[in-house]
Structure 1
Amino acid sequence: ASLNRDQLAQGPLENELGARIESFELAYRMQTAAPEAFDVSREPEHIRRLYGIGEKHCGHFAAQCLTARRMVERGVRFVQVYSGGMENQQSWDCHSDLVGNHRGFAAEADQPVAALLADLEQRGLLKDTLVIWAGEFGRLPVSQKGGKPGRDHNPHAFTAWLAGGGVKGGVHYGETDEIGFRAVVNKVSVRDFHATILHALGLDHERLAFKFQGLDQRLTGVEQARVVNEIFA
């Protein structure tokens, strides 16, 4: 590292070299710290049971959720956990056998997610951590044909939930029509959802704007977006 810095000093215009050095040093620090953070066997047995570690129906996802808590505890600012990310070639995207599919994935997610929220709460971390559960679309209120029918994609109405980070508990916002096809009351667009998340993180989505291809781009795109303040305590 010192040789690299000496070389950089001889060519002060080579700023890319300095950035590259910092990237490699960051990668090294991550590789030395990550094994301990990812080792859920270090957790007490009662915590492992709380999440469902070792349980056939949820053990894999339980390990992800417990790892997420360990990362948050160590100051990692953004953690993403997948449920049904083509594990065993399956996902929540069930065009057939919706009942069997959702029964399995709901069982996989139920205990670990509840444990994650409870664990963050009892450690005093939930109030400063925004937990988001969402997919990229909903399902139609009508089934696809077949012996074990499923449902096709529905971009017009779907549900996400948030916890922690100043969000009110036990409330819902928005309604669909009577058959669940389209959001009709207190509709929230993806842009609104992003603006609300950014607000919870202390960022104003309208403060940063930059010109790109003739448009004033913002963190939520070029169209208007609003913060759903009604969901915050």
Structure 2
Amino acid sequence: MTPIFVPKDRKSLFRQFLGGMYDAVVITDPNGHILEINPRAKEFFGYEEEELVDRPVSLLVPGLAAAVVQRIRCGLEADRHIIVDANGRAKDGAKFACEIAVSVIDLADPDDLVFTIRNIERRRKVRDMLRAKENAFRLAREALFVCDASGTFTYVNPAFCEMFGFAAEEEAREHAFAELMPDEPLPANFRKALAGEKTTVDIVSEVEDSDASEEIVVTLAPNMVGRKVRGVVGSIVRSE
């Protein structure tokens, strides 16, 4: 592992570079005691630099205790950098998810460490929200589906598979909307959805292997990505 070497006559330029970085940067001695931080780190954590000098980096990232810093140093003997997922803690006690790249820099000491910290709290919240929506989609009693612009199913939930007799989602993706719902006004409503219009229609459907029939409600809407319609989303609900 070769440390980043910063010549003395370029250290002021290096600090200007740190000042313009989007990520927070914390430079420590080999034992994890803070030497300096960049302006972004001040924004993230709410400390002034003089409050942090010679304090352990674990003050900012509790997971980076002294023993962990030493293990990271050992790991850096084989790698140029190490990525750590952790939680940062601001001066006011607020916590946020962060991704930290750790490497070695030759600033005051050849074994000084540089922690480049990216706040990923928003990314984590988006990920958690998507997981929640995914769970709701799969647990819904209604048959839910997504089609691309050609009408091919790209995503269906278990209730959809059960309604149409598919053993798995992969089997459903081999079919198109027009195959499963060929009768008007559904094809026309599909085209309306592609044009940006939401429709809901009551349909009387024959029950397979029976003389009975059932009423279902089919809702189709445009699948918007930004301002563009990328396909159609829909639901099929059996009337009570």
* TM over 0.5, shorter chain: no
Comparing both structures, which one devotes a greater share of its residues to strand? 2
| Structure of higher CA gyration radius | 2
Comparing both structures, which one devotes a greater share of its residues to helix? 1
Please report the TM-score for the alignment, with normalisation by the length of structure 1.
0.20
Please report the TM-score for the alignment, with normalisation by the length of structure 2.
0.20
